[in-house]
Structure 1
Amino acid sequence: MPSLKGWINATSRINQHLASTDKAHLTTVRVIVDETFNKSVCLDLESFLIRMLAGDGAYSVLNRNDGITESAYYDRDRYQETFEQVFDRLKDDGVFTRTIPEIENSDLFKLSPFKALTQDQAIAVEGILEGLFEDLETRASSTGTSTGTSTTVVQGEPGTGKTVVAIYLMKMLVDIQAAPPAEDFDRDTMFAEFFAGGYPQLLDGLRIGLVVPQQSLRKSIQKVFRKTPGLRADMVMTAFEAGESDEHFDLLLVDESHRLNQRANQASAAQNTKFRTITEKLFGHDDTSKTQLDWIRAKSTHQILFLDAAQSVRPADLPTHVLDDLVTGARQHERLYPLVSQLRVNAGADYVGYVRQLLGASTDHPLAAPLRPQTFDDYDFRLFDSLAEMQQQIRARDAEVGLSRLVAGYAWPWKTKNDKDAFDIEIDGIRLRWNSTQTDWIASPNALEEVGSIHTVQGYDLNYAGIIIGPDLSYDPARGTLIVNRDSYFDTKGKENNPRLGKTYADDNLLRFVSNIYAVLLTRGIKGTYVYVSDPALRAHLAQYIPTAALAPALTRSDEYFERSAPRFPQ
């Protein structure tokens, strides 16, 4: 039984909640009792339940974002088992509507503002907040007009949680902004100091927004914002919407900043017109050297840019030298925050570098040499000789853990865009179709039977990803280099020249984009990545570096399959 002091603390906390105007309507209280729980365990359980409730989506989570972080304490693994028992009891009581795996596979969970931060993410958030408040304080103590601007850069490879930090910051800023001055804050939370001491007043009236260039990811984040008190879907916008806005923003966060556009032929005539009119409105004339990054800077006093130059996948994306200059400038002004902890791929941070090196995405274009074969513990990384077998195994993994999909480079024309009865990809008797929707394809009903493109999966997690490397990428054994096959690459916007800026994209330029695409695709899988390669020479080459899968019948349990079909390197 809990001590008298424990009951008094619980009663006091309940009264605090009921005294809040935001929570006075609540009618039910559940008290979780365990005599072995110390304060560290209680905070960890609270963090776990908040994350699960936000991901389940049945209820709105009223908690503030004041510092949920992964904490280490004695016997934590044993307590985690107890947390699952608590969850099951609450689910039986109707508090949760889905299981833990179902919640963890959802966008509401993966893009939740209540994620627990890693140490480097927490350091980045704290540094960004300190810098922002310093800027705002300087502004408040001056004549009242904003004269200084700042640009902060958060840099990280795939899976380091750039999007998580962006969403976390958005929620924290609106929570600080709305913090009641007299409320008693838990001083043990990491960012509690920012909820008092004049910080909320510095955010009074602050206009903030989140720019997300990719359509699918933007729609998913908007869905999360609709479910989150304090956040609104219209806070999440395109670069065009930010540029067209009549209001000036105090702060704009830009996720996947490498996907902002320079002046180039847009996806529609209307967007080409918008690009010109926005530039004219902001700079007085149609300056073709201006990019969407210039719009962001013109429309906001402060910017926080999340980027990874190696994830640029189209010629219209910001040029590499612009991204390099951003990083250099942020470093000089001590506003650069690197994220290094690998949160997605269970193979660890070395896997991302290995894949990039393997595909030449981190070099000038030849395959990096010497590259020694690596294996990754607890990660299912394998090369298939048969697309049919890989498809079968992706289906088996989806039946086991969900969220397992086939994805591919844009190496086949999109016939089904106009003919729904056609097939897009045909290999060795296997016929497949491209994604039937551009928005939230991963969670769409037919996703398991379709193939996603880079534009449907960039920024997302999968449990298992089956990557089809198409005929757009091949290998020259004589020269030991990758080759891009322009005629087999069907993303028109991915290879067209830019006469407006006098830019012509040779095969070397195109190779960089195609290599980047496959490197992005190969870093989507949390538990495993399967690979099928169309070009025989490239397949033979990659077999030196990716364990090959022995053909075996599909089984319902992945551990049985591993025993009977163990990946192997050629001897």
Structure 2
Amino acid sequence: MSDSIDSPIIIDLPYEEGGKKYDEDIFARALQTETHQKTGQVESSNVTEYHLRILLHYPAVYVIHAEESHSQRSEPEYCVYVGETNDISQRTYEHLYNDPQNRDDWRLFNNHGNMSQYVITHPYFNKSLTLDIENQLMLYMSSVDHVSLPVNKRVNPQRDYYTHDRFKRIFSDIWLDLHRKNPSLFPAEGIILDSALFKASPFHKLSDEQLEAENIILSEIFAALHLESPDQIATDKTNPADSHLILVQGAAGTGKTVLLSHLFYRLLTQTLPEEDAPLIHSPASAWKSDDKHQDGDHASQRNLIPKEDISAYILVNHDEQIHVYNQIATKLGLQNRSGTVVLKPTEFLNRHSRKNDRHRALLNEPIDKADVLLVDEAHLLLTQGNRAYSGKSQLFDLLNRAKVVVAVFDPNQILQSSQRLSPKIQKLLSPADDSAANPSNNGNDDEPSRIQLDDYNNAKPLTVDVSHIRLQQQFRIDASPEVIAWLDAFTDEGIIGELPADCHEHAWHADDSVDTRSKPYDIRVFDSPVDLFDAIKKKAEIKADGCDGKGLSRLLATYDWEYTSKHKNANDPSGHWNVELHQDGTGTWRMGLGGGDGTDNTSHDRCFCQPWNYQLTDPHSHRKGLNKDQAWAEKPYTINEVGSTYTIQGFDLNYAGVIIGPSVQYQDGKVMFHPENSKNKNATNSRKDLGDFAEENLKDELNVLLKRGVHGLYLFAVNPQLQQRLMDVYEASKND
């Protein structure tokens, strides 16, 4: 009986019972049906009685789903509600008969046809574990392309509790069982884990550092919004600032995007405390969910501002990431269609500016000031104009159109000269004391610093209160501090030291049958780009199934080979712009396909030629239901392309293969950058007002590429000296 006891109990419960309350017989019939379908046998009365007692008297998680047909898709779409309760019988009755009378969202939800409900429980379930299971189900379901979650707005992950060490395995078993029952609604776990939607979902459980940062940000948003209210202005003795800027800084992989996504979801789905509410100390202490009929009261009941009073937008100047945010916001009901609350900065500025006679935005004349702007990848904001943007500083123009701007910023990920800040502005935006920017040091208890931003484009100067948050915990790179320090020295200081063994104590969850300890971070150096590509393709074939799976892997390269979207490559039969290398007679890899020097450019082992990102077309594009907004790395056919910072910045890969082109070399014991070998004109162009940033931009490009891999980094360098140095430290590490 132990296997049955230790397994989740999942039944497909009828959702309509003719108006009567759900009684024990209904659950007993559903349980018998489930057992017969799974085993072909009728369960013994003792086991049935035991399982029935757990179903009726233990906490439970449930998934109500309504199937919707769609003429443009080959598979059904689903509208889903995920909840948890201490009394599944009473809760189901309330959803069926009480909620539709009191709530418009439930009235619409119950109008769907083909509704059904999975009820999930387990002998280990307690209140905290069910809340975590509920949250993880919302995380997974929000990552499924054809699922929308427009009703349940609660985000309530738990901290430590008695059965927390069992959570990971129990959830994986639950998902596997659900997948077997309905693979369309519950895809394989590997598909979920490889999804960019999953990695940017607002349902991730925040770390203590992220949680503290979010609470500080919410407190400052609360204070700034109240300063703008008419009664506050009348009594305030100081002059309010024009805007409030909260800079969230952190290196690649420190969880900035997850924090921003979580914050955005809370702003648009939960309510804000009034002035006399207590300082926010946890996600539930001063925030109230929309679900007024939930079992537990996880929020303060007093003095709440309706969320409809808060206008919030999320902005990002990156084509791949804008797709991901639009998908999340649309499927969670935060916007009815793409481009409503998720926008590129230029789009937002154009919408919030008066227009001239030719319908061009007048950036000096802002309209419709927003409450909160959340800017991801703020280091990609423009600091000079282009064809679409006529201003001189997108940050200035955004501050001129919002009461609060929360900007996620990493100065080591600025990739173009048009994104560089002037030394004066950089100094103004930098924290006076770097240690005070760390939330764990409680440095944000001090008052924000007030700065004056100079006149841009003949606009009125702005008075801005600036606060700083710094994230330090590494989430992306699953490696020891020594390995991370090695990568930092490589990218930040140009030093390639001895490659340390990854011997840190990985976090793991003891389990009766599963050991989920992480493997050492896998850094390898390859003799050829061909071998590197083959290794990445093998890693990409590994599915990410299970609670500790690994999957998505892609090849990347520095922008040292020609590429343009304006026309096709006349020198390639397919018109593709390619990353091309060949091995000469001495065994050295050279740029291009060769042939003119007598080398054999037809040999697979001695020639490498793969197209850049966005060159290939999807061979299955004719199939209905194709997700056009998938991130580049998620599309299966892109395994045969080479990614760049344009497609991979801000995203994770399980294994990243990087071809380091000739713009990066090794001279006199140090990594050096050669802009003349780069094809990235946006990085190498100098500016009349600020000068030349080519080397800094190429350094940041390398930093972005080398820090994409969660579990491993595979390398090949075109520069012989750099390749030799990397190979030397790699070979030495294998002998330790």
TM-score bin, normalised by smaller chain: 0.7 to 0.9
Residue in structure 1 matched with residue 321 of structure 2 by the alignment: 217
Alignment CA distance shift 1:349-1:10 (3 Å): farther
8 Å CA contact retained: 1:153, 1:327 = no
By percentage of residues, which structure has more helix? 1
Write the distance in 2 (CA, Å) between the matches of 1:403 and 1:258: 26
Aligned match for 2:89, one of 3, 11, 14 = 11
Q: Which amino acid aligns with 1:355?
A: L
8 Å CA contact retained: 2:250, 2:410 = yes
Write the distance in 2 (CA, Å) between the matches of 1:423 and 1:299: 40
Residue in structure 2 matched with residue 260 of structure 1 by the alignment: 381
Residue in structure 2 matched with residue 449 of structure 1 by the alignment: 640
Q: Which amino acid aligns with 1:496?
A: N
Helix, strand or coil: the match of 1:463? Answer: strand
Identity across the alignment (%): 24
CA offset at residue 413 of structure 1?
1.0
Aligned match for 2:303, one of 187, 190, 198 = 198
8 Å CA contact retained: 2:227, 2:233 = no
Residue in structure 1 matched with residue 705 of structure 2 by the alignment: 521
Residue in structure 2 matched with residue 338 of structure 1 by the alignment: 470
8 Å CA contact retained: 2:686, 2:694 = no
Q: Aligned ranges for residues 476-515 of structure 1 at < 5 Å?
A: 476-477=667-668, 480-499=669-688, 501=689, 503-505=690-692, 509-515=693-699
8 Å CA contact retained: 1:68, 1:117 = no
Matched, 1:241 2:347: yes
Alignment CA distance shift 1:161-1:349 (3 Å): farther
CA offset at residue 181 of structure 1?
7.8
8 Å CA contact retained: 1:64, 1:172 = no
Aligned match for 2:221, one of 132, 142, 149 = 132
CA offset at residue 485 of structure 1?
2.1
Write the distance in 2 (CA, Å) between the matches of 1:68 and 1:351: 34
TM-score by length of 1: 0.82
1:177-210, CA deviations, whole angstroms, 9 ceiling, x for partnerless residues? 5978892556675xx34xx423333x44322111
8 Å CA contact retained: 2:55, 2:121 = no
1:273-307, CA deviations, whole angstroms, 9 ceiling, x for partnerless residues? x31xxx4xxxxxxxxxx411101111111111111
Q: Which amino acid aligns with 2:558?
A: G
Alignment CA distance shift 1:42-1:227 (3 Å): same
Write the distance in 1 (CA, Å) between the matches of 2:289 and 2:670: 61
Alignment CA distance shift 1:515-1:84 (3 Å): same
Matched, 1:34 2:183: no
By percentage of residues, which structure has more strand? 2
Alignment CA distance shift 1:356-1:3 (3 Å): closer
8 Å CA contact retained: 1:394, 1:405 = yes
Write the distance in 2 (CA, Å) between the matches of 1:320 and 1:65: 42
Q: Which amino acid aligns with 2:313?
A: G
Q: Which amino acid aligns with 2:382?
A: N
Q: Which amino acid aligns with 2:207?
A: T
Residue in structure 2 matched with residue 410 of structure 1 by the alignment: 559
Alignment CA distance shift 1:171-1:491 (3 Å): same
Residue in structure 2 matched with residue 2 of structure 1 by the alignment: 54
Q: Aligned ranges for residues 461-476 of structure 1 at < 5 Å?
A: 461-476=652-667
Aligned match for 1:153, one of 228, 247, 252 = 247
Alignment CA distance shift 1:414-1:298 (3 Å): same
Residue in structure 1 matched with residue 159 of structure 2 by the alignment: 71
Structure 1 unaligned blocks of 5 or more: 280-289, 549-566
Aligned match for 1:230, one of 334, 339, 356 = 334
Write the distance in 2 (CA, Å) between the matches of 1:181 and 1:471: 55
Alignment CA distance shift 1:5-1:98 (3 Å): closer
CA RMSD of aligned residues (A): 2.9
Aligned match for 1:421, one of 570, 575, 589 = 575
Helix, strand or coil: the match of 2:556? Answer: strand
Alignment CA distance shift 1:348-1:240 (3 Å): farther
Residue in structure 1 matched with residue 716 of structure 2 by the alignment: 532
Larger RCO, structure (CA 8 Å, separation 6 or more): 1
Q: Which amino acid aligns with 1:461?
A: D
Residue in structure 2 matched with residue 432 of structure 1 by the alignment: 610
Write the distance in 2 (CA, Å) between the matches of 1:570 and 1:537: 21
CA offset at residue 541 of structure 1?
2.2
CA offset at residue 98 of structure 1?
1.3
Residue in structure 2 matched with residue 23 of structure 1 by the alignment: 106
8 Å CA contact retained: 2:153, 2:290 = no
Helix, strand or coil: the match of 2:161? Answer: coil
**Larger CA deviation: 451-460 vs 125-134:** 125-134
Matched, 1:311 2:413: yes
Alignment CA distance shift 1:458-1:41 (3 Å): same
TM-score by length of 2: 0.65
CA offset at residue 340 of structure 1?
2.1
Residue in structure 1 matched with residue 38 of structure 2 by the alignment: none
Write the distance in 1 (CA, Å) between the matches of 2:540 and 2:701: 23
8 Å CA contact retained: 1:211, 1:254 = yes
Alignment CA distance shift 1:442-1:180 (3 Å): closer
Structure 2 unaligned blocks of 5 or more: 1-52, 60-85, 273-287, 353-367, 438-443, 449-466, 504-519, 544-550, 583-606, 617-628
Alignment CA distance shift 1:344-1:465 (3 Å): same
Aligned match for 1:50, one of 127, 138, 154 = 138
